[in-house]
Structure 1
Amino acid sequence: MTRPGSGGRIEVICGCMYSGKTEELIRRMRQVMIARQPCRIFTPRMDTRYSAAHIASHTGSQLEAVPITSVKQVLAAAEDVQVVALDEIHFLEDSPQAILDACQFLADQGLRVIVAGLDQNYRAEPFPGMMQLMAVAEQVDKLYAICVRCGAYATRSQRLINGDPAPREAETLVVGGLDLYEARCRQCYQQAP
């Protein structure tokens, strides 16, 4: 494995809702800070569930972050750092190709790029940007949650509307927490009608 300071790399942390993606990103960034490596953390401007200027896990852990809408803002702010972290990458307005190109560019410049986000939408379909990043990353960690129905490993994010699965034609990106989503295993997940 490449050491963080010896060259660029892309690390992907993915999984369903409540799998600990942001918690893992925070853990890695705390190590970076202890090592005194220049770094910057970015969070999508639309994700204001816990804080507009922090990445925050469902358990309450948080680190200061720069709110952005596009990876172009990351490229403009990554000149003086060794490590760049992007949380909830699926919420960015960019095309999957633009996200991939930006992360590849940063890694090619010698930066350690750590991204976290959902690997699937509420329809259990892959997010294209995350899928592409997983293919080129030096490290991919797919996390799982615990199914709220049966206790098995959960890999799906079930979106609910009034207790029922959200319809397929519903908007793909909806920011929410326990009020809208449940972690479910393959067997307990219900396909959107």
Structure 2
Amino acid sequence: MACILNGSKMECDLPKTKGQIQVIFGPMFSGKSTELIRRLKRYQFANYRCLVVRYANDNRYDTQSLATHDKQKLPAMSATVLTDLKRFTDEVDVIGVDEGQFFTDIVSFSEEMANLGKIIIVAALDGTFQRTGFGDILNLVPLAESVVKLTAVCMSCFADASYTKRIGNEKEVEVIGGADKYMAVCRDCHRLSSPVKRSPFKTLDQPMIQVENYNHKKELFC
């Protein structure tokens, strides 16, 4: 790594990165976008140049940023076709794509960028509300260096949730919505036609239990 002192600032040329594909799967409300933001911020902290991409038709929270259910944000470019952004990729080292399941060219774009030495991180639903593969997204699995599947909390029985269940009668696969249209469910609750939604999604604004109160309660039950 070559470093040059420019005035009072040290500028370093990072060694060329080896391309790779990282995939973050999971149902809705499992923290995929949060994990994507965490990884991107880590690369930014290490002086990697990052491009963040959001799906343009998803206007639930923000039209200029990648935004999570609990209001975390990162400035992003909007697109419906990833190849439209190729002209911006020469100057970046890392590309983060949110809602990857909606991009029809996600597989070819990811493979091309990785072969060019880019690190591409894709956060996506692996399955539809019918528990079938979402578009071509599962074709990323044999191409990826890293694949993780996160779980949510079942919004009916509070078990680990690996699936997304739609609330409503729409039959189309692409119906964008949040807790008003979907719930995270476990295997048993997915089999129910209308599971009771006992845990409507809330933001994480509520304070955590105080440590001293927690310790006091532990003493009461010991």
Query: Taking structure 2 as the reference length, what is the TM-score of the superposition?
Result: 0.77
Question: Given the superposition, is the C-alpha separation of residues 68 and 17 from structure 1 closer, same or farther in structure 2, using an over 3 Å criterion?
Answer: same
Q: Which structure 2 segments of 5+ residues have no match? A: 1-14, 195-222
Work out whether residues 20 and 114 of structure 2, in 8 Å CA contact, stay in contact via their aligned partners in 1.
yes
Kindly report which structure 2 residues correspond to 1:77-92, keeping only aligned pairs within 5 A, or say none.
Answer: 77-92=88-103
Matched, 1:113 2:114: no
Superposed counterparts of 1:121-160, under 5 Å: 121-160=128-167
Shift of 1:5: 5.6
The 8 Å contact of residues 158 and 190 in structure 1, kept in 2 or not, is answered as no
Separation in structure 2 between the aligned mates of residue 66 and residue 86 of structure 1, nearest angstrom:
10
What SS is found at the alignment partner of 2:33?
Answer: helix
What is the alpha-carbon distance in structure 2 between the residues aligned to residue 171 and residue 128 of structure 1? 12
Q: Which residue in 2 is equivalent to 1:190?
A: 191
Match of 1:76 in 2: 87
Measure the CA separation in 2 of the matches of 1:65 and 1:99: 17
Distance in 2, matches of 1:47 and 1:83, equals 22
Match of 2:69 among 52, 58, 69: 58
Moved segments of 4+, more than 6 Å: none
Which amino acid counterpart does residue 163 of structure 2 have in structure 1?
R
Matched, 1:14 2:25: yes
* Preserved contact between residue 123 and residue 191 of structure 1 (Cα < 8 Å): no
Greater relative contact order (Cα < 8 A, sep 6+): 1
Q: Which runs of 5+ in 1 are unaligned?
A: none
Change over 3 Å in CA distance of 1:152–1:38 after alignment to 2? same
Could you report, residue by residue, the CA deviation over 1:62-92 in whole angstroms, capped at 9, with x for unpaired residues?
1000000101123222111000011001122
* Greater Rg over alpha carbons, structure: 2
SS of the equivalent of 2:121 reads: strand
- The root-mean-square deviation of aligned C-alpha atoms, in Å, is 1.8
Q: Percent identity over the alignment?
A: 34
In structure 2, the CA distance between the partners of 1:149 and 1:112, relative to structure 1 (3 Å rule), is: same
Q: Please report the TM-score for the alignment, with normalisation by the length of structure 1.
A: 0.88
- Which deviations, in whole Å up to 9, do the C-alpha atoms of 1:134-154 show, x marking residues without a partner? 221000010000111111110
The separation in 2 between residues aligned to 1:78 and 1:62, in whole angstroms, is 21
Q: Distance in 1 between matches of 2:193 and 2:75?
A: 36
Q: In the comparison of the two structures, how many residue pairs are matched?
A: 180
